[in-house]
Amino acid sequence: MQTIESISELRSTLSNHRSDSFQLGFVPTMGALHEGHLSLIRRSVKENDSTVVSIFVNPLQFDNVSDLESYPKVLEEDLSLIKECGVDYVFIPDEEEFYREKPLVSVNFGALASRLEGKFRKGHFEGVGIVVSKLLHLVDPDGVYFGLKDLQQYLLIKRMCADLSFRCEVIGVDTVRESSGLALSSRNRRLSDGGKEIAAVLSKALFQIEDDLLNGMSLPLALTKAQELCQITSGFDLEYLEAINTSDLSNVDNYEIGSELAVCIAGYVEGVRLIDNLYLRPK
Ligand code: AMP
């Protein structure tokens, strides 16, 4: 496994591989890897001739300095996990080189970025748009892998790649969970054991909605019931619970079994902000 820090080394190394038949997979991450990241990485390794994983805590996507500063950094651990997956290249950009100048150009996702996460994390998706665009230009993969755990991010990146004609396919990978249902997240490292038990309420609320909908309950009632579950869970502060249409992220208030629907949730446990979603798709 080759660890690459400079843009010139990345370009020259990858140029040795470019050919019509060679498939390159790419998994962008911010490190502090867990089984969720590893499922993306393993999928890329399986589906491609070679895989690049990047580790970069992108300052542009944090609206809160303490969130950025407290982001877990465990590089040695990450490198050994990536190596075990059979990855060929790890790109760890040097921030000084990557953002030699703060980008003037911005990626504006319009109304899509002003909803859900975008409403509560100002500038977050603009920062994600810039870092993903730069990484995709540098790596130029055939397939890029994103977790459906960050559903809004996946939908926005898919749209950006279509609008701006990036040649890669954007592949969404299902969320990996603990046995309690809690979605794996690098932020879970900041929770106590008790906090993790409380945090299982996010997935509990979503799975309850799924059961209720499949049993014929109306969407507004299922949402209200789930909100009540969140409210009675002490130690959990619900930020939002919304049912959305995945094409324009607008709110929806009815669901027909077999149609497409996403329910997104965000909230705080022990000061840590957590998100999750239920993504129902036609079979
Ligand atoms: P991050 O390091 O948080 O930027 O995440 C890197 C990638 O891993 C993103 O595409 C995330 O959506 C994905 N990811 C994070 N948590 C999970 C999870 N529990 N299951 C699947 N993918 C995940």
Q: Say how many residues make up the chain.
A: 283
CB 264 within 8 A of CB 240: yes
Tell me, in angstroms, the distance from the centre of ligand 1 to residue 217's CA.
Answer: 31
Instruction: Count Cβ atoms below 10 Å from residue 257 Cβ, excluding itself.
Output: 11
Provide the CA 202 distance to its chain's centre, in angstroms.
16
Burial 166-199 (b: 16+ CB within 10 A, else e): bebebbbbebbbeeebbbbbbbbebbeeebeebb
Per DSSP, helices labelled H in 188-252 are 193-214, 219-231
What confidence tier does 18 reach under pLDDT thresholds 50, 70, 90? confident
153 neighbors 173 (Cβ within 8 angstroms): no
Query: Which residue in this structure is represented by tokens 């890669």?
Result: 168
34 is catalytic: no
Q: What are phi and psi of 65, to 5 degrees?
A: -60, -40
pTM: 0.97
Please report where in the chains the tokens 């490198």 appear, as a residue: 79
Strand order in the sheet with 24-29: 2-4, 89-91, 50-55, 24-29, 143-147, 169-173
- DSSP code, position 183: B
- Helix (H/G/I), strand (E/B), else coil: 41: helix
Phi, psi of 167 (to 5 degrees): -85, -10
Question: What is the per-residue pLDDT for 1?
Answer: 97
Best of 149, 188, 206 for a ligand 1 pocket test (most atoms within 8 Å of beta carbon): 149
Q: What is the dihedral of CA 147, 123, 60, 72, to 10 degrees?
A: -50
> Quick one: tokens of 255?
């669901």
pLDDT tens-digit series, residues 34-91: 999 999 999 999 999 999 999 999 999 998 888 889 888 999 999 999 999 999 999 9
Q: Is the pLDDT of residue 283 over 90?
A: no
Backbone angles phi, psi at 160, to 5 degrees: -60, -45
Distance 147 CA to ligand 1 centre (A): 5
Angstrom CA distances, 261 to 75, 85, 224, stand at 37, 33, 17
Ligand 1 centroid distance, CA of 62 (Å): 16
Q: Which atom of ligand 1 is nearest to the CA of 31?
A: 2
Which residues does a 6 A CB cutoff place in the pocket of ligand 1?
A: 29-30, 36-37, 39-40, 146-147, 149-150, 173, 175-176, 183-186
What percentage of residues in the chain have a pLDDT greater than 90?
95
- Output the six-digit token pair for 261: 């629907």
Give me ligand 1 centre to Cα 150, in Å: 7
What is the average pLDDT across 130-140?
98
Comparing CA positions, the residue from 246, 247, 33, 14 lying closest to residue 142 is 14
Note the pLDDT of residue 20.
82
Q: Please, are residues 166 and 146 in contact by the beta-carbon 8 Å criterion?
A: no
**Two structure tokens written together for 219:** 């969407």
Q: Are strands 169-173 and 50-55 parallel, antiparallel or unpaired?
A: unpaired
Does pLDDT of 199 surpass 90?
yes
